Amino acid sequence: MNERHKEPSEIMDDGVEAALSRLTPEKIQAVINSVLKGETGARFKAYMDTCIHCGLCSEACQFFLSRDRDPHYSPVGKVKQTVWPMVKNKGRVDTDFIRRAVRIAHTECNLCKRCVAFCPFGIDIAYLMTVVRRIIHKLGATPLYLQDTAHSHASTMNQMWVKEDEWIDTLQWQEDEARAEIPSLRIPLDKEGAEIMYSVIAPEPKFQAQLIYQAAAIMHVAGVDWTMPSDIGWDNSDMAMFTGDYEIMGRIKRTHFEAATRLRVKKIVMGECGHAFRSVYDTGNRWLGWAQPPVPIVHAIAFYYDLLKTGKLRIARKYSHPVTLHDPCNVVRGGGLHEKARYVVHQLCDNLIEMHPNREHNYCCGAGGGVINCGPPYKNARVAGNRVKAEQLFDAKSRGAHTLIAPCHNCHSGLHDIVHHHGIDLEIKFFSDIIYECMEKPDGSE
Amino acid sequence: MSKMVKTGVFVLLLLTVMVLPAMNVYSQEDMRAVDSSAFDCPIRPPAVFAHDDHNDTAGIDDCARCHHLFDDNGRKIEDESSEDQSCADCHAQEDKGTVPGLRKAFHWNCKGCHLQQRTGPVTCGECHVKK
Amino acid sequence: MTSLYAFVAGPLAWAAFLFFFGGLCYRLLSMLRQVRQSEPFIFSYMSLRYSLRSILHWLIPFFAMGWRRNPILTGVTFIFHISLIAAPVFIVSHVVLWDEAWNLSWWTLPDAVVDVMTLVVVAACLFFALRRVLRPEVRFVSDASDYLLLVLTAAPFVTGFLAYHQWPAGPWMTIAHMVSGELLLALIPFTRLRHMLSGWLTRAYIGSEFGAVRHARDW
């Protein structure tokens, strides 16, 4: 059977099925109640009691809009299919219910919080979905591929099973490559007292090593006093946050902050990743008891903004193609970096073609929140679930956009799938791709 | 609102000078409604009130039961009544010190007594009947 | 009948206000206690400035993206809530009762205006009910309680309108109006109508989060 024609409800996830086969109604009830009673509080109760079932949140959700306004995909519709019965039946739900809850909470909600900005009461439905995910985690029923990344975090302190020697080798390899272009370039490892620790997500050394090359080049050209840790803590990503495995989330965030503390840096600069920003800036630090991150966190967008604004980085020639900009939820609704992103765009490019809606109201890429990390079984459903993004991209394309800037790894991959599936001819780039291409480099380096 | 009962008692003590402003004894048997002409801008139909029938039914002989008089200290003067005066002579549109405004005085006088006696109309529409 | 009125206007009214104010206070205090017990971090994120910023932006009709995407519902919601509060508070018949019982009185609206507002409330409740039936995404998340809440809300306004116009004559419609109003007041803290209190708090919290942490608009 052609995957493309599978209904989301027909998708089989081996990890979920294996877990469900081991569950009993008693176990399900015990877990649900332990989470609802033991881990939620006034906020959960207020959200449950305040929601007047008006459905205004529906308009916010790319799944709802893309699935022909099917009520099952509206934010409150997802709550109705997951949280409400759990509360009403005091945890007495069956395995079919859990299977559906896994699909909804893990693959049909990106936790993008767009609906929060559509609810008159500001009810955080993404939070309610994370409660469902927490229950699923405690039932052991997290989708297989996503769970694998959490296992990797737990075992290696990075998301991609990267071993210590592979990490250091990759950095040295990229340093060597870059020195062919800029001979004096270094990737300083474990430089105590540097101003900045640069951290990345594990997919960069695993299969996007050129991003580390580009970052090193930018750091070098801008004269930044920076370092990267050779030991654990170099990975700022966090899939455990999305599986609801907060114990692991706490461990990996602590490791990341401790790496910065060990190196006595003043701040952490992170690459163009959205979920990692959410984890480091918002979620993980809170789990560890920090209202704000213990070490200041600077997302790549804000970092490039500073470098361009202060003139440390100069653009030799502007990027020649018209661009459009995707606003990633985690750094825009999660960090307010949309205007800085536009400043950076305008420094790099003459022609920005805005998508609408944009900034805080931009449609999610459909990949974030761990959805893309649920892997191949869900890919077609995910792409089909974000038709509105495809329409938005197509609209930008039809108005002349050539390049799509997506300053977030998840967005990047998710948008790639959408662009590829619909044949929208847009080249997808990170900011660092364009900065590296357009910045002034030392004489003779080109 | 429950204070209504209590205030009803209070009202009776206050006994209004009102009920029938500018009204004399001879016309009372024909009276069907409280004269609302003293109100600057009456917003409800005048209250239904058949003076003689009401007093026959209620067994009220003492004019001062409604046509009361109070001294300067706010004490009711026994054995004196005020049927020679208009209610509005004492009760202004608004409250003045301990003297209730005309509307409040009417309500206290009528509704207060009805509540106390547990008989007679008490809801808005029973007295302010629309024509 | 007069005794019944005395009961409805006396002990029952006391009970209704007690349930209403006591219930709301209880809800507020238990919420604060629960926050302190299990989610004390919420206090450290609350910001008066950003709470008000968020609330004020949402109080402007058609300002938030969520409002603008649903212009008809937004219009109905605003005039519904304004009428729902203003009509009973500023109707002269109620102020008279407050005045006579407690010597408290305040500015009132002309009866004709309140009459229209009352019809607005009833019509809006009908609109909400119809919307629940007709919009698939709303019907999907509606159950009997949602319709009951609309009936509960509309009842004092329907009976109040009829009592005012004296259809039928006599005390019964007024008694029904008082009882239904008291029932509504008493049940607000114990149904999802408590959004009249909690809605401000959830908005304030998310406004604080978006303002002070996320540096983004939440409207």
For residue A77, give the 3-state DSSP assignment: helix
Q: Is C185 on the interface with B (CB under 8 A)?
A: no
Q: What is the mean pLDDT of residues A324-348?
A: 97
B3 contact residues in C (CB cutoff 8 A): 101-102
Q: A7: pLDDT confidence band, cut at 50, 70 and 90? A: confident
Q: Is residue C157 part of a domain?
A: yes
Q: Average pLDDT over chain B, rounded to whole?
A: 80
Determine the residue of chain C that is closest to A362 in CA distance: C65
Q: Is residue C16 part of a domain?
A: no
CATH superfamily of B31-127: Cytochrome C3 (3.90.10.10)
Please report the residues numbered 3 through 32 in chain C whose beta carbons come closer than 8 angstroms to any beta carbon of chain A. Answer: 31-32
Q: Give DSSP secondary structure letters for C2-61.
A: HHHHHHHHTHHHHHHHIIIIIHHHHHHHHHHHHHHHH-THHHHH--HHHHHHHHHHHHST
Q: Cβ–Cβ of C70/A59 closer than 8 Å? A: yes
Chain B contact partners (≥3 CB pairs within 8 A): C
pLDDT of residue B3: 54
C15 contact residues in B (CB cutoff 8 A): none
Q: Cβ–Cβ of C10/B1 closer than 8 Å? A: yes
Q: Cβ–Cβ of C198/A123 closer than 8 Å? A: no
User: Which tokens go with A376?
Assistant: 């191949």
pLDDT of residue B24: 43
Q: Is C173 on the interface with B (CB under 8 A)?
A: yes
pLDDT of residue B129: 94
How far is A383 from A401, CA to CA, in rounded Å? Answer: 21
pLDDT of residue A1: 41
Tell me the fold of A314-438: Rossmann fold (3.40.50)
Kindly report the nearest CA distance between residue C90 and chain A, in angstroms: 26
How many contiguous H segments (helices) and E segments (strands) does chain A have? 22, 7
Q: Cβ–Cβ of B1/C9 closer than 8 Å? A: yes
pLDDT in tens, C125-146: 999 999 999 999 999 999 999 9
Q: Is residue C151 part of a domain?
A: yes
Q: What percent of chain A has pLDDT over 90?
A: 96
Complex ipTM more than 0.90, yes or no: yes
Q: Is residue C6 part of a domain?
A: no
Q: Are A325 and A352 in contact (CB under 8 A)?
A: yes
Q: Is C18 on the interface with B (CB under 8 A)?
A: no
Domain boundaries, chain A: 8-142, 157-298, 314-438
User: Pick from A430, A384, A390: which is nearest to A410 by CA?
Assistant: A430
B98 contact residues in C (CB cutoff 8 A): none
Q: What is the mean pLDDT of residues A184-205?
A: 97
pLDDT of residue A277: 97
pLDDT of residue A143: 98
pLDDT of residue B98: 86
Q: Which of A52, A64, A79 sits opposite C192 (nearest CB)?
A: A52
CB burial class (10 A; 0-12, 13-18, 19+) of residue C127?
middle
How far is B41 from A255, CA to CA, in rounded Å? Answer: 78
Q: Cβ–Cβ of A42/C39 closer than 8 Å? A: yes
Domain covering A8-142 assigned CATH 1.10.1060 in the classification: yes
Domain boundaries, chain B: 1-29, 31-127
Q: Are A346 and A375 in contact (CB under 8 A)?
A: no
Q: Average pLDDT over chain A, rounded to whole?
A: 95
C99 contact residues in B (CB cutoff 8 A): 104
Q: B33: pLDDT confidence band, cut at 50, 70 and 90? A: confident
pLDDT of residue B76: 87
pLDDT in tens, A48-81: 999 999 999 999 999 999 999 999 999 999 999 9
pLDDT in tens, B71-119: 888 888 888 888 888 999 999 999 988 899 999 999 999 999 999 999 9
Residue B22 backbone class (left: φ over 0; alpha: ψ -120 to 50; beta: rest): left
Q: Quickly count: other Cβ atoms within 10 Å of residue A403's Cβ.
A: 21
C170 contact residues in B (CB cutoff 8 A): 125-126
Is the pLDDT higher at A3 or at A162?
A: A162
Q: Where are the alpha helices (DSSP H) in A140-245?
A: 144-156, 164-181, 203-207, 209-222, 240-243
How far is A108 from A386, CA to CA, in rounded Å? Answer: 10
How far is A43 from A302, CA to CA, in rounded Å? Answer: 31
When divided into structural domains, chain C yields a total of: 1
Residue C171 domain boundaries: 48-213
How far is A173 from A170, CA to CA, in rounded Å? Answer: 5
pTM listed for this prediction: 0.92
How far is C111 from A44, CA to CA, in rounded Å? Answer: 43
pLDDT of residue B10: 44
User: Pick from C105, C11, C174, C100: which is nearest to B4 by CA?
Assistant: C100
Is pLDDT at C34 greater than 90 in this prediction? yes
How far is A316 from A205, CA to CA, in rounded Å? Answer: 28
- Secondary structure percentages of chain C, helix, strand, coil, to 5: 80, 0, 20
Residue type, B69: L
Q: What percent of chain C has pLDDT over 70?
A: 100
CB burial class (10 A; 0-12, 13-18, 19+) of residue A84?
middle
Q: A2: pLDDT confidence band, cut at 50, 70 and 90? A: very low
User: Which tokens go with A342?
Assistant: 């536009």
Kindly report the nearest CA distance between residue B106 and chain C, in angstroms: 10
pLDDT in tens, A248-284: 999 999 999 999 999 999 999 999 999 999 999 999 9
- Quickly tell me which residue has 């008493």 as its tokens: C186
pLDDT of residue B15: 37
Q: What is the mean pLDDT of residues B1-18?
A: 45
Is pLDDT at B26 greater than 50 in this prediction? no
CB burial class (10 A; 0-12, 13-18, 19+) of residue A141?
buried
Q: What CATH number is associated with residue C105?
A: 1.20.950
